[in-house]
Structure 1
Amino acid sequence: MALSLKGKEADKGQGIQGMQGLMESGVQAMRSIQRGDVIEGVVMRVERDEVLVDIGTKSEGMVSSREMQSLGAEGTSCLKVGDQVLVYVLRPENEEGQVVLSLDRATGEKGWRLLQRYFDTGGTFQAEVTGFNRGGLLVDIEGVHGFIPSSQVVALRPETDGEEQAEARLAQRVGTQPQLKVIEINRNRNRVILSERAAFQDWRNQQKERLLTEIREGEIRKGKVTSICSFGAFVDLGGADGLIHVSELSWEHVTDPGKVLKVGDEVDVYVMKVDPESKKIGLSLRRAQPEPWDRIVDNYQVGQLVQATVTKLVAFGAFARIEGPVEGLIHISELADRHVAHPTEIFKEGDFVTVKIVRIDRERHRLALSLKQAQEEAGAPTHRDSEEIGAEHTNEGLD
């Protein structure tokens, strides 16, 4: 019996100690909460003017309607019991013993934490453009206002666009959700600078790495011309640009790439070279098209007399075009039946002459032509002979 009483007394003592422990832990939890803390809680009750949230203290926290503006027009209807929410502690305890909380300020805190994490990791994210001014775009990130300078907006060139055109383009971006990157963050100054260009460049780099592992030399790929320069054209293959050198634009001689392509053209290109180390891709426009050389030469045969245009004079002879991109060489020994020191003694670039095809090398795409044999076969000269040129020089001297 004594043992039984002692046992009951022990149980009673343990119960009292347990209650004291719970009370002490609750008080301790209450004391640990301070104004400005941002903590997670669980929605316990939703009413029209307030929401009660369990944040692990002895009493529930209360969020009044004026601290829930960030919920928008839906208000408390978008919350339900059991939802997890982030809340900001306004007061550790009010007159009723409740913790006074704010959803709005917690939203801003969440935004700052999120932005800091993106800045630290270099990650990209989407955010809605809420407005604009002359300097750029305004965005909202979980209650934090960020700014995208005009210089960091894709497809906007402040240095070339007029003021009205720039503002019109900025206005069109309101409501869109561009991919962004944090390039500057200063919470003390409430300053967040974002860049669409940096995020776009990150995406381009990722696409380029992927493309370099997938693309193969010899493939035909579709692309879009992004820029044109004196030495060729750059084509976007879907995340990475390749270069078409001016010599690969056409089977015919090209001096101005702008006469063959323009920015925005969609083209099929032949992949000539892929260099993973330098991350460069060499392309050809002409090799993606049927080669005209064989087709044109099929219309000609050895021994035939043809009309040609002198395109280039060199020490060992002259090149002459007979049709399209097909050119042949008139060796200096085939210019006349006498010694010729230089082709300029016979004609100049641009002259039209009659020549004879003496050899066709289909494998190397070469033609051998003869002016001398054409004259012998025709029986009369069809070019400016040396006497005519000598006379011209004499007349020029007299003038």
Structure 2
Amino acid sequence: MVNPEDSNGNLVLSYMRAREEEGWQIVETMVSKKDSYHSSVIGYNKGGLIVPVGGLRGFVPASQISFTRRAGMTGDTPEQRWSRMIGQEIDVCVIEVDRERRRLILSERQASSETRDSLKERVIDELKEGQIVVGRVTSLAEFGVFVNVNGADGLVHLSEISWDRITHPNEVLKVGQEVKVKVISIDREKKRIGLSIRQLLSDPWDQKAAEFQVGQLIEGTITRLTKFGAFARLSDDIEGLIHISEISEKRIEHPKEVLKEGDSCTLRIIKI
């Protein structure tokens, strides 16, 4: 009932308000009993998903979306992340009800029995070494980068990020970035996943080595001397080793007897 009566003495009723009142009663009961509710995603905003419960529009924040569903998220914009989820079925629990502010907060995570640990166990069981998968960067550290793969984090060690020498992952990667990775190790006992980005990239050495041939004469500059030989720079980023036995026709004890750093020499390539 909206008003006891109008100017003509008739009762004024509202079906929509009655349905809404019934909806608030339903969700208040659900939050106290911690019941789950089966529904479907009807929309989204920048922070999460819109799901109807008892005739009301509820909001599932990104932090309350299940690990499994979040693992399937891709893209940088809300539309890219959430739009493909519209129409998908979802089970939720009511975690906050505020009638005055018309606020209804839901959680898929609390309605799911799958925990982060159980999800990781499942992912580890499904993954195989050598498998190539797409993941998303979740955090950066000095020793490497963590990438979420199907809901579980794996580590890409610093040495497995790039063929180029880098001192920190932030030189080439950022949090949220989508990357293709290769599974290179799985420790089921310690629940660790080892990943590599570098192994999916072409080795620059193959292209550079193609510029040289065995038997070719080339100019080089001596860069270092060691007991077993001398290193010569052939180009900006290619060095070759001259073994001590290949430096002189005479027997020598150390390359410094014949060479010094900075010397320019004509060299013959004998092995690649």
TM-score in terms of structure 1 length = 0.39
Equivalent-residue separation in structure 2 for 1:354 and 1:120 (angstroms)? 81
The 1:67/1:183 distance shift into structure 2, 3 A limit, reads closer
- Work out whether residues 110 and 142 of structure 1, in 8 Å CA contact, stay in contact via their aligned partners in 2: yes
Of all paired residues, the percent bearing the same amino acid is: 35
Tell me which of the two structures has the higher relative contact order, counting C-alpha pairs closer than 8 angstroms and 6 or more residues apart: 2
Does the residue aligned with 2:19 lie in a helix, a strand or coil? Answer: helix
C-alpha RMSD of the superposition:
5.6
Q: Structure 1 residue 281: deviation in Å?
A: 1.6
Following superposition of structure 1 onto structure 2, how do residues 1-399 of structure 1 map, counting pairs within 5 Å?
A: 69-72=17-20, 104=21, 110-117=26-33, 119=34, 142=54, 208-298=120-210, 299-301=212-214, 304-307=217-220, 310=223, 322=234, 327-329=239-241, 339=254, 347=261, 356=267, 360=271
Equivalent-residue separation in structure 2 for 1:300 and 1:210 (angstroms)? 50
The 1:333/1:295 distance shift into structure 2, 3 A limit, reads same
Report Cα offsets for 1:346-387 as digits up to 9, x if no partner.
Answer: 55xxx7965846653x6xxxxxxxxxxxxxxxxxxxxxxxxx
The 1:327/1:238 distance shift into structure 2, 3 A limit, reads farther
The 1:68/1:257 distance shift into structure 2, 3 A limit, reads closer
Equivalent-residue separation in structure 2 for 1:111 and 1:270 (angstroms)? 45
Query: Please, which runs of 5 or more residues in structure 1 have no aligned partner?
Result: 1-64, 73-103, 130-138, 155-168, 186-191, 363-399
The 1:315/1:206 distance shift into structure 2, 3 A limit, reads farther
Q: Structure 1 residue 229: deviation in Å?
A: 2.3
Which is richer in helix?
1
Does the residue aligned with 2:214 lie in a helix, a strand or coil? Answer: coil
Q: Structure 1 residue 217: deviation in Å?
A: 0.9
Query: Please, which runs of 5 or more residues in structure 2 have no aligned partner?
Result: 1-12, 44-50, 66-77, 97-103
Equivalent-residue separation in structure 2 for 1:201 and 1:296 (angstroms)? 53
Q: Structure 1 residue 71: deviation in Å?
A: 1.4
Report Cα offsets for 1:192-215 as digits up to 9, x if no partner.
Answer: 986678789957656544432322
- Work out whether residues 30 and 93 of structure 2, in 8 Å CA contact, stay in contact via their aligned partners in 1: no
Q: Structure 1 residue 234: deviation in Å?
A: 2.2
Q: Structure 1 residue 273: deviation in Å?
A: 0.9
Q: Which amino acid aligns with 1:114?
A: M
The 1:221/1:146 distance shift into structure 2, 3 A limit, reads closer
Q: Structure 1 residue 247: deviation in Å?
A: 0.8
Equivalent-residue separation in structure 1 for 2:120 and 2:197 (angstroms)? 20
The 1:332/1:198 distance shift into structure 2, 3 A limit, reads farther
Q: Which amino acid aligns with 1:250?
A: S
Equivalent-residue separation in structure 2 for 1:304 and 1:332 (angstroms)? 19
- Work out whether residues 235 and 243 of structure 1, in 8 Å CA contact, stay in contact via their aligned partners in 2: yes
Report Cα offsets for 1:53-107 as digits up to 9, x if no partner.
Answer: xxxxxxxxxxxx68984414xxxxxxxxxxxxxxxxxxxxxxxxxxxxxxx56x5
Q: Structure 1 residue 303: deviation in Å?
A: 6.1
Equivalent-residue separation in structure 2 for 1:352 and 1:227 (angstroms)? 47
Does the residue aligned with 1:293 lie in a helix, a strand or coil? Answer: helix
TM-score in terms of structure 2 length = 0.53
The 1:234/1:70 distance shift into structure 2, 3 A limit, reads farther
Q: For this pair of structures, how many residues does the alignment match?
A: 230
Q: Structure 1 residue 180: deviation in Å?
A: 8.7
**Higher gyration radius (CA):** 1
Does the residue aligned with 1:282 lie in a helix, a strand or coil? Answer: strand
The 1:214/1:152 distance shift into structure 2, 3 A limit, reads closer
Equivalent-residue separation in structure 1 for 2:227 and 2:113 (angstroms)? 50
Equivalent-residue separation in structure 1 for 2:132 and 2:214 (angstroms)? 33
